Chain A
Amino acid sequence: MIPLARKTLLHEWRRFLPSALAVAFSGLLLLVQAALVFGIFNSSAVYIRKSAADLWIGYPGTQSIELGRPIPHDAEISALMDPQVARVEPFNWIDGDWRGPADKGGVSVFVSGIDTRADGMMFADVLPPDLRARLDEPDGVIVDRADLAKLGLSLGGQAVVNGHRVRIVGVGNGLRALGGVNIVTSLATSRRLDNGDSRGEVAYYVVKLRDAAQADVVAARLLRSSSPTPRFGVWTKAAFSRRAVLYWMFETGAGLGVLFLAIVVFIVGAVITSQTLMSAVAGSIREYATLHALGVGFAQLRRVVLAQAAWVGAFGLVVGGVATALVVLLAHRRDVPVQLDIATIATCAVLVMGIALLSGLAAVRTLRHADPALLLR
């Protein structure tokens, strides 16, 4: 059998190039969009995922980490009484008003007060022991590299938070989250910055279990100890992180806006790809009509066109994939939050391939509805 689809593609690659590029750009747009959506919204859970805690105890019903409110001390006691609990660590979360250099005005910040021990759970993945130790300096803070410009300061710079002088003792990476600038301090410093508003109460207790696999069971048990009127809520690391992402994705206008944009990108990509592929296929419509006149069935012609669409889709995916990799790499360098996992890449690939194949089918339909007597001249 003569490999018509492949030979035509190779010989007339210029005709198919626009559709391959359309596929590539659709793939690129979808993937980058997805990477940004997941990057941005996952950054709302960055503190949860980059810490070593198995359970989070916080104010009942807390939807996202930055919405934490002080909870009573007995939450810590309840947790410590559970036989499965290995360690409990307080994590303080307060709002702050940052006043740095005069030309930067005031900046709203979230202050995270953490246990500075080398094996502390909070930010275990992003703050190495030596950096944590620097927080033992009274009024020392760590800020994210990406926020330095916004704050107008560099390492060693001084500012005022909630009326207290602080000094940047370290610069971290990966602390950036949604909703504002995040600065990290020791628990003691955070209490000073709080001006006593929380009466010594902290917003969260994070819990290390003896067996992380028991997280769901222990969470349910601790929650029961908080009833009948819940004084605190308990979530596993995964559940709390998901809560934060869903809150930002669906409960805020920003999230819905980005999702809407992703849908628009998909539709635009689909339309452009199908139009270019259909016109590429339509360029051979007389030849296909001749084959059909000679008795080659629509089913067999469809196979030829679909094979072409699949090759175009595959080529476009490779180009789009490489372009996406470059964009994501650039974004990482610039501290833009992007995140892609295999499932997202596979979903985008299936969508893009689906666009290509459906466009091929649509092109075959134009052949089926054409009048052979007019086509065959």
Chain B
Amino acid sequence: MSAALIAESLDKSFISGAVRTDVLRGLSIEIVAGELTLVSGPSGCGKSTLLAILSGLLRPDGGRVHALGHALARLRPVELEQFRLRHTGFVFQGFNLFPALTAIEQVMLPLGYLGLDNETARKRARVALEEVGLGSRMQLKPAALSGGEKQRVAIARALAKEPQLLFADEPTSALDAANGQIVIDTLHRIARTHGATVLCVSHDPRLVTHSDRVLAMEDGRILSDRRTQRPASA
């Protein structure tokens, strides 16, 4: 299987005052499509920074990223925005939903920027919300939704764009066991049925058993890379 995401010798450091912190040190990975890949590690090990760089949100100090055949370093800021708009979806720990919008409007919003008309956007949003099990909650605003439901709206928002790359940053840490499980299953299904490349960073051990592949990260390096044995139908 060809790699959808390739990172070669990534370096990244942050300078805060006189202190320089190396977050990534010569990190290289390849991530294939159709799988749920988990990057796990303790807080501050650089997982989120890695995700930001692989998704084109952040530029590395050194090294290269190829995403879906594009060398991200060569893209101008506007082209990077276009790349993300067309090909990527994001799910974050904090949901980041607009309090003023109903669930279906949250999902429709990015579709409008993709250039879809309202009718098409509404149809796609409805399908995505049904897929995450929120068919009956579409007209509710975030204040009326539970944490798990909010996260599923956020997943539907990412999913409706039909992205080839889906990035999830600690998607389950704010959720209880049941909701966490639903989110994990949904992410996994997206990788399987939509053929998307799903990259998830988390220190949530529940995710480990449900991932196709687990990369353990510490101090800006990948320590181990292993495939989990789990039934394909899960």
Contacts and interface: CB of A to CB of B under 8 A. Distances in A.
Contact of B99 (A12, A290, A298): A12
A2 B110 CA distance: 9
A287 B98 contact: yes
B161 to A, nearest CB: 7
A11 interface: yes
Contacts of B52: 372-373, 376
Given A290-B96, A377-B48, A295 B82 contact: yes
Contact of A290 (B51, B92, B101): B92
Nearest to B50: A373
B88 A294 contact: yes
Contacts of A297: 78, 81-82, 85
A293 B78 contact: no
B26 interface: no
Interface string A1-33: 110100110111000000000000000000000
Nearest to A372: B57
A11 B110 contact: no
A294 B96 contact: no
Q: Interface of chain A, helix or strand or loop or mixed?
A: helix
A371 B110 CA distance: 21
Contacts of A86: none
A78 interface: no
B147 interface: no
Contacts, number: 97
Interface string B146-179: 0000000000011001000000011000000000
A289 B96 contact: yes
A377 B78 CA distance: 23
A377 B170 contact: yes
Contacts of A7: 98, 100-101, 105
A287 B99 CA distance: 9
B28 interface: no
Contact of B100 (A10, A291, A298): A10
Contacts of B109: 2, 4, 291
Interface of B: 48-49, 51-52, 55, 57-58, 78, 81-86, 88-90, 92-94, 96-101, 105, 108-110, 112-113, 118, 141, 157-158, 161, 169-170
Instruction: Pick the 9 closest A-B CB pairs, nearest first.
Output: A295-B85, A11-B100, A295-B84, A373-B52, A1-B112, A290-B96, A372-B57, A7-B100, A8-B100
Given A4-B100, A295-B81, A297-B85, 16 more contacts: A1-B112, A7-B98, A8-B100, A291-B113, A294-B90, A294-B161, A295-B84, A295-B85, A295-B110, A295-B113, A300-B113, A372-B57, A372-B58, A373-B48, A373-B58, A377-B93
